[in-house]
């Protein structure tokens, strides 16, 4: 009893949270009373086991670490030393370019180097979809305009609305997937692009969808999954635009 | 507080939440918020999992929450960081949950008319309560298959066909799990 009271006062530590993932019904058997801890334990029913929870947490913390290091501020002395080092490096660049190009880069760097949203081939004027209501046509036209103007968040709102009325429109779903990725919503993009790839075994979007799926996995730091998507593209017998792109990307990360 | 003593990561770890926030406001160094966030990353992730019910969405949401902290801590006076972080996490997840569930608002009307009314009216306060009730009711579904199919259908927007193909159910089993799950949700919410 005293132990329970102690736990109620004690904060839910990481190790303990992970330990609850071993239990079949983690939410039913714990002494924590605060809502933050209770719900955190409840969430463990959506992981397979302790190891799965640990990996998920590590992925999150390494993303935080990457983000934090990307924006690191430097004190004056460090800043001065960096400038000196940069000058020295500048002198060395001609000698190091060949060596550097052959070095593998991080998933995030590879993503930034290789991702750009494909230009839409859906016409912006005229009847976009046969039989579509005027409101839908207008909505789609606005979505494509936003997409072309790099206003991806706004485009995505409109794509969602449009796809509610035309869920089978595979062309639009493809651009929605790319647009989500451009907005940084890689998981949502994977959802959409998987649907496109599944539904277009022979249609023109199968290969592009696979390319962007590979990029979306890279964005999430899931390099193995990205390679699984990109390798088949690089191994195509026919020389295509996407084969070249996949080969270049795989060279960067391998 | 001695600012020099905070120049190493080890020193960060010895500071209270509130000291770190004050230090961040002066130095604008995101590393400080990284240390602060990682004290509670398991709780944020666990809460996101509980609301969104799948790992990739939960990890993305937790990362978005961290990004938002960098700006929010500039503008909000935070007295109890952990309590405030819970509120920020809850609000962010509810917003994402609302977007996901919105697609199925007609079905939601059948499960729980109150939630549907709030979705239609757009009243933020009540919709949050209703969504949290709905999320909890899904968590509490006793049968694993029903919960799994309900999550895939309502939150991950999978079709019956996709759920069957990807999870080894027959189409009839998927229909039955969703139908029974929906009935159980209705019973627990009304």
Residue where the block lists tokens 């939960």: B58
Q: Where are the alpha helices (DSSP H) in A102-168?
A: 107-114, 134-148, 152-165
Q: What is the pLDDT of residue A228?
A: 92
Q: What is the pLDDT of residue B174?
A: 93
Chain A touched by B47 (CB under 8 Å): yes
Q: Answer positive or negative: Cα dihedral of B134, B139, B143, B147.
A: positive
Min Cα distance A98 → chain B (Å) is 34
User: H or E element: which one contains B20?
Assistant: helix B17-27
Q: What is the pLDDT of residue B2?
A: 44
CB within 8 Å of chain B, chain A residues 23-82: 27, 35-37, 39-47, 52, 56-57, 59-61, 63-65, 67-69, 71-73, 75
Give the residue from A18, A21, A33, A39 with the most B CB atoms within 10 Å of its CB, the best one to mutate: A39
Q: How many whole angstroms separate alpha carbon A130 and alpha carbon A157?
A: 22
DSSP state of B15: S
DSSP state of A254: -
Q: What is the DSSP string of B108-174?
A: HHHH-HHHHHHHHHT-HHHHHHHHHHHHHHHHT-S-HHHHHHHIIIIIS---HHHHHHHHT--HHHH
Q: How many whole angstroms separate alpha carbon A60 and alpha carbon A14?
A: 13
Q: What is the pLDDT of residue A1?
A: 44
Q: How far is CA A206 from CA A140, A192, B96, B149, in A?
A: 22, 12, 29, 27
Q: How many whole angstroms separate alpha carbon A232 and alpha carbon B66?
A: 36
Write the residue in A18, A35, A47 that is nearest to B49 by C-beta.
A47
Q: How many whole angstroms separate alpha carbon B87 and alpha carbon B165?
A: 38
Q: How many whole angstroms separate alpha carbon B83 and alpha carbon A176?
A: 37
Residue where the block lists tokens 């599944």: A198
Q: What is the pLDDT of residue A57?
A: 95
Min Cα distance A1 → chain B (Å) is 25
- Cα dihedral angle (B52, B54, B59, B60), rounded to 10 degrees? -60
Q: What is the pLDDT of residue B63?
A: 95
Q: What is the pLDDT of residue A185?
A: 94
CB within 8 Å of chain B, chain A residues 178-217: 185-188, 190-191, 195, 198
Q: What is the pLDDT of residue A203?
A: 58
Give the end-to-end CA distance of chain B in Å, rounded to a whole number.
Answer: 54
Residues of B with Cβ-Cβ distance to A75 under 8 angstroms: 7
Residues with Cβ within 8 Å of B82's Cβ and at least 6 positions away in sequence, in order, are: A11, A36, B17, B40
DSSP state of A102: T
| Listed residue (A145, A153, A126, A148) closest to A137, CA to CA | A126
Residues with Cβ within 8 Å of B85's Cβ and at least 6 positions away in sequence, in order, are: A36, B40, B43, B44, B65, B69
> Whats the size of chain A, residue-wise?
254
Q: What is the pLDDT of residue A178?
A: 94
Low-confidence stretches of chain A (pLDDT < 70) are 1-10, 71-80, 89, 91-103, 121-131, 200-203, 239
Chain A touched by B109 (CB under 8 Å): no
pLDDT in tens, A33-55: 788 998 999 999 899 889 999 99
Quote the ipTM score.
0.83
pLDDT in tens, A90-108: 766 665 554 455 567 788 8
Each residue's pLDDT expressed in tens, for chain B with a length of 190 residues: 444 444 455 567 778 898 899 888 888 888 889 999 999 999 999 999 999 999 999 999 999 999 999 888 877 778 889 999 999 999 899 888 888 877 666 666 666 666 655 555 555 556 777 788 888 889 888 898 999 999 998 888 888 999 998 888 999 999 999 999 989 988 887 7
């Amino acid at each position: 009893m005293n132990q329970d009271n102690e736990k109620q006062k004690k904060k839910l530590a990481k190790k303990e949270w992970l330990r609850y993932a071993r239990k079949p019904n983690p939410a039913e058997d714990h002494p924590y009373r605060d809502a933050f801890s209770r719900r955190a334990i409840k969430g463990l029913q959506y992981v397979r086991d302790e190891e799965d929870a640990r990996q998920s947490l590590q992925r999150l913390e390494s993303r935080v670490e990457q983000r934090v290091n990307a924006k690191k501020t430097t004190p004056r002395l460090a800043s001065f030393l960096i400038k000196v080092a940069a000058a020295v490096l500048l002198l060395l660049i001609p000698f190091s370019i060949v060596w550097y190009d052959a070095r593998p880069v991080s998933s995030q760097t590879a993503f930034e180097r290789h991702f750009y949203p494909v230009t839409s081939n859906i016409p912006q004027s005229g009847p976009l979809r046969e039989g579509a209501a005027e409101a839908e046509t207008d909505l789609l036209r606005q979505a494509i305009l936003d997409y072309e103007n790099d206003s991806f968040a706004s485009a995505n709102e409109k794509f969602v609305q449009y796809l509610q009325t035309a869920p089978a429109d595979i062309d639009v779903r493809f651009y929605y997937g790319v647009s989500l990725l451009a907005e940084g919503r890689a998981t949502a993009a994977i959802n959409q692009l998987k649907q496109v790839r599944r539904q277009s075994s022979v249609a023109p979007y199968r290969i592009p969808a696979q390319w962007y799926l590979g990029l979306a996995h890279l964005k999430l730091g899931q390099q193995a999954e990205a390679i699984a998507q990109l390798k088949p593209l690089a191994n195509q017998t026919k020389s295509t635009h996407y084969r070249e792109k996949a080969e270049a990307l795989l060279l960067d990360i391998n | 507080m001695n600012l020099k003593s905070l120049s190493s990561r080890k020193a960060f770890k010895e500071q209270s939440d509130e000291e770190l926030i004050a230090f961040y406001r002066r130095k604008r160094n995101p590393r400080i918020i990284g240390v602060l966030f990682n004290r509670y990353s398991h709780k944020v992730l666990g809460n996101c999992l509980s609301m969104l019910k799948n790992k990739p969405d939960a990890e993305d949401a937790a990362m978005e929450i961290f990004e938002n902290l960098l700006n929010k801590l500039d503008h909000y006076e935070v007295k109890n960081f952990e309590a405030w972080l819970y509120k920020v996490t809850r609000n962010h997840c509810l917003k994402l949950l609302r977007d996901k569930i919105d697609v199925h608002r007609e079905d939601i009307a059948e499960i729980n008319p109150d939630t549907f009314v709030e979705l239609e009216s757009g009243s933020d306060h009540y919709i949050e309560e209703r969504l949290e009730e709905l999320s909890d009711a899904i968590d509490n579904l006793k049968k694993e298959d029903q919960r799994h199919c309900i999550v895939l259908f309502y939150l991950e927007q999978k079709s019956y066909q996709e759920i069957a193909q990807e999870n080894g159910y027959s189409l009839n089993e998927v229909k039955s799990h969703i139908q029974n799950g929906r009935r159980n949700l209705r019973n627990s919410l009304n």
